[in-house]
């Protein structure tokens, strides 16, 4: 008996049983085809069951299912690590594998902490985070996520991490707009770092878009400023690119939109094109050098049983090939144009119903003024075989990059029909 995640157990609506995936379609046991407008928790960047990824997994399974990445290695893990490093133009030189985004972040936090320990800098004990951030559901990841309805019940068992008001360029905490903004949202953080930098080892953040807390978007300058500030004060910057990696913001990695580079990035979700669980934490050479030692106390003691699983690595390699060979970033660009047209369109028609229409790369989002209307909109879309999964008041689209024009148009017209229904 399955205990389904994020679900109120009593009176649970039976979930839809999916038996097949094909492109942007999820197909149920009755043959009904649903368009996956959110890429199954933002993973299926090439659509479901892409034949080249499936073939890569099958062919890997003909040779090697799994081997522990301790005392042993294998080609898919080696080639994939090389490929990821190459994609960052050697800004990051080491790849630490795990199986999911939460663990990729926990690994980053532990490495950042130990980086200073390995230099006998014991005072650095704090990691900072933003109030609207989400970094996963494990205890460590929750500790550095924004305090929320979902994490509140565990508050007493999380480790302490100072929280700062999130940047949010659509719901600015300082009532500024892009023209009047002087990065006021960073004032508290700056003050804290000035005063307490000796005890801070890191800050973790989701670059440009804080996904799970409602597709909260903010501008690049905020990140460039944070990186500069942290470099001056010997604080490591971790970018959680679990959502933003692999093209979602328009660049291969979100940090590539910036002038400055963080010290660690965390990848998962789209890494295998949404086929198998795999995550990677990418680390700069400067950090790695502090672990390059004969002293056992300087080693990094962290591992998961399925770390660097061969079929998962093969899937990731096939996915990266598709990103390049089929020019997925061009498709992200087309989606971006379509979403910007939709933004203009919706803005005029529905301003009594929605606000903060926003677009970043292949992400489209707005907020409904009334949270109570969310379920009606979601259910209407589902009745038209369009899967959306709003977050609080935020309704968003995040489809596979490969979605056909006609299915994208179907999603858009369904969304408008749903909004018309709410206007009645």
Ligand X SMILES: Cc1ncc(COP(=O)(O)O)c(C=O)c1O
Among 39, 102, 261, 393, binds ligand X (CB under 6 A): 102
Instruction: Choose between 101 and 418: whose C-beta lies nearer to ligand X.
Output: 101
For 330, other C-beta atoms within 10 Å of its C-beta total 11
Per-residue binder mask for ligand X (CB under 6 A), 136-175, x = binder: x---------------------------------------
SS3 84: helix
Q: Are the beta carbons of 310 and 64 closer than 8 angstroms?
A: yes
For 265, half-sphere exposure in the C-beta direction (CA atoms, 13 angstrom radius) is 25
**134 noted as active-site residue:** yes
**6 noted as active-site residue:** yes
Tokens 């080696």, residue?
78
Among 36, 126, 206, 367, binds ligand X (CB under 6 A): 206
Q: Are the beta carbons of 332 and 361 closer than 8 angstroms?
A: yes
Among 60, 100, 249, 319, binds ligand X (CB under 6 A): 100
The active-site residue out of 25, 96, 134, 401 is: 134
Give the pair of three-digit tokens for residue 352: 């009594």
Q: Tell me how far apart the alpha carbons of residues 32 and 123 are, in angstroms, rounded to a whole number.
A: 58
Shortest Å distance, C-beta 353 to ligand X: 27
Residues 351-380 contacting ligand X, CB under 6 A = none
Instruction: Choose between 49 and 138: whose C-beta lies nearer to ligand X.
Output: 138
Radius of gyration for the alpha carbons in the chain, expressed in angstroms and rounded: 22
Stretch binding ligand X (CB under 6 A), from 100-108, 293-301, 345-353, 363-371: 100-108
Stretch (H or E) spanning 376: helix 374-383
Q: Judged by CB under 6 A, how many residues of this single chain contact ligand X?
A: 14
Stretch binding ligand X (CB under 6 A), from 148-156, 204-212, 223-231, 411-419: 204-212
Q: Tell me how far apart the alpha carbons of residues 422 and 200 are, in angstroms, rounded to a whole number.
A: 48
Instruction: Choose between 64 and 306: whose C-beta lies nearer to ligand X.
Output: 306
Instruction: Choose between 264 and 419: whose C-beta lies nearer to ligand X.
Output: 264
Q: Strand 200-205 relative to strand 279-283: parallel, antiparallel, unpaired?
A: unpaired
Per-residue binder mask for ligand X (CB under 6 A), 37-76, x = binder: ----------------------------------------
Q: Tell me how far apart the alpha carbons of residues 221 and 244 are, in angstroms, rounded to a whole number.
A: 17
Shortest Å distance, C-beta 149 to ligand X: 16
Give the pair of three-digit tokens for residue 180: 């009047």
Among 47, 76, 207, 211, binds ligand X (CB under 6 A): 211
Among 134, 164, 201, 396, binds ligand X (CB under 6 A): 134
Instruction: Kindly report the backbone phi and psi dihedral angles of residue 409, in degrees, each rounded to the nearest multiple of 5, phi listed first.
Output: -65, -35
Shortest Å distance, C-beta 394 to ligand X: 13
Q: Tell me how far apart the alpha carbons of residues 268 and 277 are, in angstroms, rounded to a whole number.
A: 8
Torsion of the alpha carbons at 292, 294, 298 and 301, rounded to the nearest 10: 90
Stretch binding ligand X (CB under 6 A), from 74-82, 134-142, 154-162, 392-400: 134-142
Instruction: Choose between 211 and 273: whose C-beta lies nearer to ligand X.
Output: 211
The answer to the question of residue 106 lying near ligand X (CB under 6 A) is no
Shortest Å distance, C-beta 340 to ligand X: 23
The active-site residue out of 6, 17, 62, 179 is: 6
**269 noted as active-site residue:** yes
Residues 224-263 contacting ligand X, CB under 6 A = 240, 242-243
Q: What is the DSSP string of 46-78?
A: T-BT-HHHHHHHHHHHTT-S---SSS---HHHH
Nearest in space to 35 (alpha carbons), one of 327, 367, 415: 415
Q: Are the beta carbons of 362 and 336 closer than 8 angstroms?
A: yes
8-state DSSP, 185: G
Q: Tell me how far apart the alpha carbons of residues 246 and 271 are, in angstroms, rounded to a whole number.
A: 7
Catalytic residue annotation:
6, 134, 240, 269
Binding site for ligand X (CB under 6 A): 100-102, 105, 134-136, 206, 211-212, 240, 242-243, 268
């Amino acid at each position: 008996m399955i205990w389904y995640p994020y679900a109120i157990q009593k009176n649970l609506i039976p979930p839809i049983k999916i038996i097949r995936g094909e492109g942007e379609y999820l197909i149920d046991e009755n043959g009904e085809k649903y368009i996956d407008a959110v890429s199954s928790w933002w993973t299926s960047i090439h659509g479901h069951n892409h034949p080249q990824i499936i073939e890569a997994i099958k062919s890997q399974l003909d040779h090697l299912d799994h081997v522990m990445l301790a005392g042993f290695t294998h080609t898919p893990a080696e080639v994939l690590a090389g490929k990821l490093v190459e994609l960052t133009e050697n800004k990051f030189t080491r790849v630490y594998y795990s199986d999911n985004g939460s663990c990729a972040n926990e690994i980053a936090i532990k490495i950042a902490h130990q980086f200073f320990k390995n230099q006998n800098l014991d005072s650095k004990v704090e990691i900072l985070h933003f109030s609207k951030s989400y970094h996963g559901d494990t205890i460590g990841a929750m500790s550095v996520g924004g305090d929320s309805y979902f994490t509140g019940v565990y508050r007493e068992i999380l480790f302490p991490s100072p929280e700062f008001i999130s940047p949010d360029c659509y719901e600015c905490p300082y009532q500024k707009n892009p023209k009047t903004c002087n990065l006021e949202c960073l004032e508290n953080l700056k003050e804290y770092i000035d005063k307490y930098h000796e005890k801070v080892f890191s800050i973790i953040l989701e670059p440009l878009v804080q996904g799970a807390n409602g597709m909260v978007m903010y501008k690049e300058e905020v990140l460039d400023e944070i990186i500069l500030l942290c470099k001056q004060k010997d604080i490591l910057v971790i970018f959680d690119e679990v959502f933003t990696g692999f093209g979602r913001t328009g660049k291969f990695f979100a940090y590539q939109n910036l002038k400055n580079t963080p010290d660690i990035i965390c990848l998962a979700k789209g890494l295998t094109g949404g086929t198998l669980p795999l995550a990677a934490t990418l680390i700069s050479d400067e950090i790695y050098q502090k672990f390059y030692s004969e002293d056992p106390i300087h080693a990094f003691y962290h591992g998961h049983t399925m770390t660097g699983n061969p079929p998962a690595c093969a899937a990731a390699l096939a996915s990266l090939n598709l990103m390049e060979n089929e020019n997925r970033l061009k498709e992200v660009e087309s989606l971006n144009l379509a979403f910007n047209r939709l933004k203009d369109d919706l803005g005029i028609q529905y301003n009594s119903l929605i606000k903060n229409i926003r677009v970043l790369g292949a992400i489209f989002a707005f907020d409904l003024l009334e949270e109570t209307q969310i379920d009606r909109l979601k259910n209407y879309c589902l009745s038209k075989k369009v899967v959306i999964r709003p977050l609080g008041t935020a309704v968003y689209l995040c489809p596979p990059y490969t979605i056909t024009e006609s299915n994208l148009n179907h999603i858009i017209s369904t969304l408008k029909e749903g909004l018309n229904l709410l206007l009645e």
